[in-house]
Amino acid sequence: MSEIETPPAASPNASETVSFLGPAGTFTEAALKLAPEAKGKHWKPVTNVLEALMDVQQGRSFAAMVAIENSVEGGVTATQDALATMDGLRIFGEYVVPIRFVLAVRPGKSLRDIETIAAHPVAYGQCRKFLHRTLPDHLYVQASSNVASARQLFEEDGLADAAITPPTIQDHFDVEIVAEDIQDSSIARTRFLLVTTRTDLPARTGSDKTSIIVTLPEERPGGLLSMLEQFAARGINLSMITSRPIPESPGRYRFVIDLDGHLEDARVSDALLGLRRYSPSVKFLGSYPRAVPSPVAVDPSYSDAHYAQAQDWLDGLVR
Amino acid sequence: MSEIETPPAASPNASETVSFLGPAGTFTEAALKLAPEAKGKHWKPVTNVLEALMDVQQGRSFAAMVAIENSVEGGVTATQDALATMDGLRIFGEYVVPIRFVLAVRPGKSLRDIETIAAHPVAYGQCRKFLHRTLPDHLYVQASSNVASARQLFEEDGLADAAITPPTIQDHFDVEIVAEDIQDSSIARTRFLLVTTRTDLPARTGSDKTSIIVTLPEERPGGLLSMLEQFAARGINLSMITSRPIPESPGRYRFVIDLDGHLEDARVSDALLGLRRYSPSVKFLGSYPRAVPSPVAVDPSYSDAHYAQAQDWLDGLVR
Amino acid sequence: MSEIETPPAASPNASETVSFLGPAGTFTEAALKLAPEAKGKHWKPVTNVLEALMDVQQGRSFAAMVAIENSVEGGVTATQDALATMDGLRIFGEYVVPIRFVLAVRPGKSLRDIETIAAHPVAYGQCRKFLHRTLPDHLYVQASSNVASARQLFEEDGLADAAITPPTIQDHFDVEIVAEDIQDSSIARTRFLLVTTRTDLPARTGSDKTSIIVTLPEERPGGLLSMLEQFAARGINLSMITSRPIPESPGRYRFVIDLDGHLEDARVSDALLGLRRYSPSVKFLGSYPRAVPSPVAVDPSYSDAHYAQAQDWLDGLVR
Amino acid sequence: MSEIETPPAASPNASETVSFLGPAGTFTEAALKLAPEAKGKHWKPVTNVLEALMDVQQGRSFAAMVAIENSVEGGVTATQDALATMDGLRIFGEYVVPIRFVLAVRPGKSLRDIETIAAHPVAYGQCRKFLHRTLPDHLYVQASSNVASARQLFEEDGLADAAITPPTIQDHFDVEIVAEDIQDSSIARTRFLLVTTRTDLPARTGSDKTSIIVTLPEERPGGLLSMLEQFAARGINLSMITSRPIPESPGRYRFVIDLDGHLEDARVSDALLGLRRYSPSVKFLGSYPRAVPSPVAVDPSYSDAHYAQAQDWLDGLVR
């Protein structure tokens, strides 16, 4: 048995298709289950983030679910760079999936039968403590994904008699679970983004996030500080910032930024205006509800009401 | 002869009257000569800055000329504090007068007749080098103003036989000048403001200045830095900043600020909006042409055109 | 009677002399009474701030008491500029004097006898409310100081029958007080500095202040913000900042700054080092106890103990 | 043939061993070839970054070579997080390897024989343009690494008849190269770090980099800006900054930072002192020469000489 990817027999309409980093059974699929927009659609597994985003950009899918942060399945940096360089894409939602692993065996086998364990290297690294404690003498076989590990249990020449996989593996393979929650950390999570070409925005909820990518002006020292002052001057908190070198411009950087708030918040649109004047390139990637709702704390100085009051004051200065 | 101030016999209409720190012959009067708005009006001398500004506030004069910076006749701090606390006043223009002094005597007297010199203490302090070099053995009589010194030459029991006064003294007294430009510094100047209750603004010239007074929020450490970031984030240069304690609120400060630009410049109105949201109190004192024209250098990032472009970009983000 | 200044008959030794802005009876004299260093010394009245400071610089006095802030007797800006440009001077102490005025008359006179009032123009301006309420029909005679007003009561051809003066006037003239605390504001104060050439520092008290004058580098935009970051980066609060144009360098500024803390506080010396590297010119004017004791609140991050811990940490980084 | 990892028959001494993300033939191996410290040592392939770093921490190897930025083989975020949480590790050098791919086949095969291509998904994504142009109808088989793809060419039941691999593959497998430099971008690179437990530092070269991990204080808004001011206040440029959520402390972040300069530069040690006082946790990861030498531009204000001058000035302030 191999993992050849073949086109689906009858390709569903793009408006009915969501691409994701397959195969089925991965954490990305778990994220899709959380997204109302993906419900009842065709879920198309692809082999890497770029392919998923190109499906959206080129109209083969109306959306893609891609990992953006803290993933055990890779793709973080690739996603950031793809969103920075590909046009026409918008983030429409984010979803957080807890990272949990189980130890799966073929039906009838038990924990003490295990000699060789198949696992994706990153998953393997996240279950060290359990393995050291419970199966100190096991052998290790590398697998290409968290699902491919389970598939090895059923291969003719497969050496593995156990696989480290996500809990959802039982939806796809006839396996038995001999140990649950075997990951070292109980709080690991992966954050996923639902990416589309829609240019309308999800409604403001008060618990929103806005993603942008900003390039610093070439000639300015202290440029990062000046850029961040645009946020500080409007009381805006950043929940993520990452510098990424710009391959075409050695020594220059773009910054991938998530900020608290929605484009329709006066302070956010004001900060984007400020950035746009300061920076040669600001890419707006979307405003969308936080995966884990938690109202954005807004200093009253920067509330919409205060923005309106200040405008009234300014308008009244001149007769 | 005394210096009792009496009301003018026939008080002219307020719309024809400008108050100034008299008596006639002072540098303030020289500033009035530079102001087109004061031409042909009645110039009313008053004894202190507060009185001049109250004349305007209470409608006895349509304008007042008051010293604001670097004065040899005092009034600087008093003017700042008065503008901070009095309502309804606006700066309509600024004028700069070079500080020059002459040594005046009664007709027929000469330099070698001089034994005792009358001078306002500050003026006296500004002519030390000349006096030390030319009249090392003189006696000194204190005068209450730069004009009162000349008046002493004609008093019955006056001891002074020379007076330090402005060059314009000959418009007012029958004196002879025995030495010109006797001040130590050739670059001393006083800056004056023409204060009115007009709420229209002098037209934008490209070489403008805006004056404001800003109070810091009580509870914020690093408040000054945050306030200044409002200017930095719009590329605005400050030409003057002074902290003044707020008598009613020990430990708190207001800041008297002159910034480069006119309220009708997009970056200036944007910065005022930012300040207004940040600060519990922003007092707009006026936008007016600089006394010494010199175009404001504007970073293209903060030009009106760039402001308009950024707004267009923002408007286009959402379908 | 005139106000000619004559040298004292027997000039006391400089080490026994303190110069002050005279004449006797002014608020500056009241400040001298607060300074332990001035006790039992000869107090030499001079006519302006420059003269007082030159007495110290040139060794005629060991100290001078000069007004620095909020004065009703002028001198603020002059003092700042003198401290900026004169070498070898240090501030050794500060003293705050509440500004209070009384209405004085010749013995035997009463409030209802008053027709004409002598006052320094600034003092006159500060007692408007009382005068308007109590003596609405008075005439006004200008005086050259807060003591000269009282002297007019005893001049032969004097017109004044009342004088606005400080409460201490009774130490110098045989007057009667017919109204006390006639100033509009009950909280006006003047801050004075005791200036010397001593280069040792008053001992650290925990309630100290440090005065410096800093010039911005010529070529840097946003220079003020960068300078202030030197303080913010060490958790240091400024209690006063004033920009002063540098007459010799049009368009450039020096900043007169008071900061909370003593040179021997690690965070203060660290900030001065930072400023000195950043700025072409930092002038240290002294560390001295606050006039009104109030412990400086120090963020634990910037305490001396934390400075020592950080140094230990750094020393331990490299084997 | 399988990929079971077995302990080496005769384990070499730890002081002779460098761990790396294997298998042999990867870009990580190419980085090892650039490191003088690794020359002539035993190179031990491991399956993930954590394992490599634990080998060093626990004394099984004296160094590990791990990818840190822009990798096509993953590991970036994992490396950052491992360096943040594991104790006792130091970066001793960095190495940059250009990312180049070839298309390899079994001897005797040619381009037109290719039907199915084996590749690691990320490598596959980086060669899209070449594949689309040259082999538009190929099938794709996923491989677990850039070397495993070549291994598939020799597996009994292997479907692949071509593999995307690094150019060094010919050192390990008897393959023929039918196309070179097939990657889309000619400028992709991966940056690697040589990690050790040494606490001495590589000598200062003038073209150095310092890596740190900083946690923001919990309670401070605008914390990132304040942290960055510590660098700005010493004229230090950052070449990389990335926020990473702290799993144990929801809503808090650590920042992984590379800055220009060496710990022995006065401005760098001064900035680390500043950070250490500000932040509850600063982890020093090492100072080491840049992989691509390029002298650090130092503002004269922050040169070692200027630091020494400032200290002399401060020492001279007090007698």
Which chain C residue has the Cα nearest residue A222? C226
For the residues D34-50, what does the mean pLDDT come to?
A: 91
CB contact under 8 A, B143 and C140: no
Spell out which residues of chain C touch residue D311, defining contact as CB-CB under 8 Å. 273
**DSSP 8-state secondary structure symbol assigned to residue B234:** T
CATH class of A208-308: alpha beta
Tokens 């803290």 sit on residue: A70
Contact B196, B257 (CB under 8 A): no
Mean pLDDT of chain B: 87
Which chain A residue has the Cα nearest residue B315? A269
Write down the pLDDT at residue C5: 44
CB contact under 8 A, B273 and A310: yes
Each residue's pLDDT tens digit, A211-220: 999 998 875 5
- Total residue count of chain D as it appears in this document: 319
Interatomic CA distance for residues D9 and A252, integer angstroms: 48
Quote the percentage of chain C above a pLDDT of 90.
Answer: 51
The contacts of residue C99 (CB under 8 Å, 6+ apart) are C27, C72, C126, C183, C185, C188, C189, C190
Determine the distance in angstroms separating the CA of D56 from the nearest CA of chain C, rounded to an integer.
18
Spell out which residues of chain A touch residue C226, defining contact as CB-CB under 8 Å. 222
Each residue's pLDDT tens digit, A102-145: 999 999 999 999 999 999 877 887 898 899 999 998 998 878 77
- Partner-chain residue, chosen from A3, A77, A187, that has the shortest CB–CB distance to D247: A187
Spell out which residues of chain A touch residue B276, defining contact as CB-CB under 8 Å. 309-310, 313-314
E strand intervals along chain D: 17-21, 42-46, 63-69, 90-98, 102-105, 116-119, 139-142, 162-165, 176-179, 189-196, 208-215, 238-245, 253-260, 281-289
For the residues D152-157, what does the mean pLDDT come to?
A: 85
Interatomic CA distance for residues B115 and D250, integer angstroms: 83
Residue C146's pLDDT band (cuts 50, 70, 90): confident
Spell out which residues of chain B touch residue A272, defining contact as CB-CB under 8 Å. 314, 317
CB contact under 8 A, B245 and C128: no
* Phi and psi torsions of D123, nearest 5°: -65, -40
Determine the distance in angstroms separating the CA of C275 from the nearest CA of chain D, rounded to an integer.
9
- Partner-chain residue, chosen from B125, B143, B224, that has the shortest CB–CB distance to C238: B224
Of A250-264, B166-180, B275-289, D219-233, the range with the lowest mean pLDDT is D219-233
Mean pLDDT of chain D: 87
Contact D245, C282 (CB under 8 A): no
Q: Measure CA B200 to chain center.
A: 20
Residue D7's pLDDT band (cuts 50, 70, 90): very low
For the residues C297-315, what does the mean pLDDT come to?
A: 91
Determine the distance in angstroms separating the CA of B262 from the nearest CA of chain D, rounded to an integer.
30
Which chain C residue has the Cα nearest residue D269? C314
Write down the pLDDT at residue B208: 97
Q: Which of D145, B96, C274, B301 is nearest to A230 (CA)?
A: B301
Write down the pLDDT at residue C90: 97
Residue D310, SS3? helix
Determine the distance in angstroms separating the CA of B270 from the nearest CA of chain A, rounded to an integer.
9
Spell out which residues of chain C touch residue D319, defining contact as CB-CB under 8 Å. 199-200
Per DSSP bridges, beta strands A253-260 and A208-215 are antiparallel
**Identity at B31, one-letter amino acid code:** A
CB contact under 8 A, B142 and C144: yes
User: Domain C102-179, what fold?
Assistant: D-Maltodextrin-Binding Protein; domain 2 (3.40.190)
Write down the pLDDT at residue B11: 62
The residue with greater pLDDT, B75 or D166, is D166
**CATH of region B208-298:** 3.30.70.260
Mutate to test the interface with C, among A225, A230, A278 (most CBs of C within 10 A): A225
Interatomic CA distance for residues A307 and C123, integer angstroms: 43
The residue with greater pLDDT, D95 or C1, is D95
Contact C284, C263 (CB under 8 A): yes
Each residue's pLDDT tens digit, A197-233: 999 999 999 999 999 999 988 755 578 888 888 898 8
**DSSP 8-state secondary structure symbol assigned to residue D27:** H
CB contact under 8 A, C225 and B221: no
Secondary structure (DSSP) of C202-215: PPP-SSEEEEEEEE
The contacts of residue D250 (CB under 8 Å, 6+ apart) are none
CB contact under 8 A, D201 and C318: yes
Mutate to test the interface with C, among B6, B21, B70, B73 (most CBs of C within 10 A): B70
In A266-290, which positions are buried (b, 16+ CB within 10 angstroms) versus exposed (e)? bbbbbbbbbbbbbbeebbbbbbbbb
**DSSP 8-state secondary structure symbol assigned to residue C169:** G
Spell out which residues of chain D touch residue A19, defining contact as CB-CB under 8 Å. none
Question: Residue A43 forms beta bridges with which residues?
Answer: A18
Does the pLDDT value for residue B219 go beyond 90? no
Each residue's pLDDT tens digit, A9-28: 456 788 999 999 877 778 89
The residue with greater pLDDT, C78 or C39, is C39
Angle, CA B37 vertex, CA B35 and CA B42 arms, to 5°: 95
Spell out which residues of chain A touch residue B309, defining contact as CB-CB under 8 Å. 276
Same fold? B102-179, B208-298? no
Q: If residue B118 lies in a helix (H) or strand (E), which one and from where to where?
A: strand B116-119
- Total residue count of chain C as it appears in this document: 319
The contacts of residue C303 (CB under 8 Å, 6+ apart) are C266, C267
The contacts of residue D66 (CB under 8 Å, 6+ apart) are D20, D21, D28, D49, D52, D53, D75, D79, D192, D193, D195
Which chain D residue has the Cα nearest residue A115? D4
The contacts of residue A223 (CB under 8 Å, 6+ apart) are A216, A217
Does the pLDDT value for residue B135 go beyond 60? yes
pTM for the model? 0.82
Secondary structure (DSSP) of D151-172: HHTTSTT---SEEEE-GGGGGT
Write down the pLDDT at residue C9: 44
3-state helix, strand, coil in chain D (%, to 5): 30, 25, 40
Spell out which residues of chain C touch residue D210, defining contact as CB-CB under 8 Å. none
Q: What six digits make up the tokens of A286?
A: 């979307």
Determine the distance in angstroms separating the CA of D201 from the nearest CA of chain C, rounded to an integer.
7
- Partner-chain residue, chosen from C4, C124, C229, that has the shortest CB–CB distance to B159: C4
Interatomic CA distance for residues C77 and C68, integer angstroms: 7
- Partner-chain residue, chosen from C48, C144, C241, that has the shortest CB–CB distance to B143: C144
Spell out which residues of chain D touch residue A141, defining contact as CB-CB under 8 Å. 2-4
Superfamily holding D208-306: ACT domain (3.30.70.260)
Of A275-284, C194-203, D173-182, the range with the lowest mean pLDDT is A275-284
Cα dihedral angle (D2, D5, D8, D13), rounded to 10 degrees? 150
Each residue's pLDDT tens digit, C163-185: 999 998 888 899 999 999 999 87
CB contact under 8 A, B314 and A273: yes
Within a 10 A sphere around the Cβ of C70, how many other Cβ atoms? Answer: 18
Each residue's pLDDT tens digit, D195-228: 999 999 999 999 999 999 999 887 555 788 888 8
Mutate to test the interface with C, among B80, B124, B142 (most CBs of C within 10 A): B142
Interatomic CA distance for residues D64 and D41, integer angstroms: 12
Q: What six digits make up the tokens of A98?
A: 């807890």
Domain regions of chain B by residue span: 14-98+188-196, 102-179, 208-298
- Partner-chain residue, chosen from B76, B124, B185, that has the shortest CB–CB distance to C77: B76
Spell out which residues of chain B touch residue D226, defining contact as CB-CB under 8 Å. 222
Determine the distance in angstroms separating the CA of C279 from the nearest CA of chain D, rounded to an integer.
8
For the residues C68-88, what does the mean pLDDT come to?
A: 73
Per DSSP bridges, beta strands D281-289 and A281-289 are unpaired
- Partner-chain residue, chosen from A277, A302, A306, that has the shortest CB–CB distance to B310: A277
Mutate to test the interface with B, among C19, C190, C225 (most CBs of B within 10 A): C225
Q: Measure CA D240 to chain center.
A: 13
Write down the pLDDT at residue C220: 57
Interatomic CA distance for residues C264 and C280, integer angstroms: 23
Interatomic CA distance for residues C77 and A315, integer angstroms: 36
For the residues D132-136, what does the mean pLDDT come to?
A: 92
* Phi and psi torsions of B85, nearest 5°: -105, -20
Determine the distance in angstroms separating the CA of A223 from the nearest CA of chain B, rounded to an integer.
12
Interatomic CA distance for residues D194 and D209, integer angstroms: 13
CB contact under 8 A, D307 and C277: yes
User: Domain A14-99+188-196, what fold?
Assistant: D-Maltodextrin-Binding Protein; domain 2 (3.40.190)
Each residue's pLDDT tens digit, C247-268: 777 777 889 999 999 999 999 9
Spell out which residues of chain B touch residue A276, defining contact as CB-CB under 8 Å. 309-310, 313-314
Spell out which residues of chain A touch residue D187, defining contact as CB-CB under 8 Å. 247-248
Neighbours of chain B (3+ CB pairs under 8 A): A, C, D
Determine the distance in angstroms separating the CA of D138 from the nearest CA of chain A, rounded to an integer.
11
Q: How many CB pairs under 8 A join A and B?
A: 74
**CATH of region D14-98+188-196:** 3.40.190.10
Residue D1, SS3? coil
Contact C162, C112 (CB under 8 A): no
Which chain D residue has the Cα nearest residue C283? D317
Of B143-152, C109-118, C132-141, D38-47, the range with the lowest mean pLDDT is B143-152
Question: C252: number of CA atoms within 13 Å, CB side?
Answer: 15
Determine the distance in angstroms separating the CA of C4 from the nearest CA of chain A, rounded to an integer.
52
Write down the pLDDT at residue A72: 47
Write down the pLDDT at residue D76: 65
Each residue's pLDDT tens digit, D56-103: 999 999 999 998 876 444 446 778 888 888 999 999 999 999 889 999
- Partner-chain residue, chosen from C234, C278, C317, that has the shortest CB–CB distance to D284: C317
User: Domain C208-307, what fold?
Assistant: Alpha-Beta Plaits (3.30.70)
Quote the percentage of chain A above a pLDDT of 90.
Answer: 51
Which chain A residue has the Cα nearest residue D7? A139
Q: Which of D61, D88, D4, D64 is nearest to D283 (CA)?
A: D88
Mean pLDDT of chain A: 87
CB contact under 8 A, D3 and A69: no
| Structural Rg of chain D based on CA atoms | 23
Question: Does 3.40.640.10 match the CATH number of domain C14-98+189-196?
Answer: no
Which chain B residue has the Cα nearest residue C54? B125
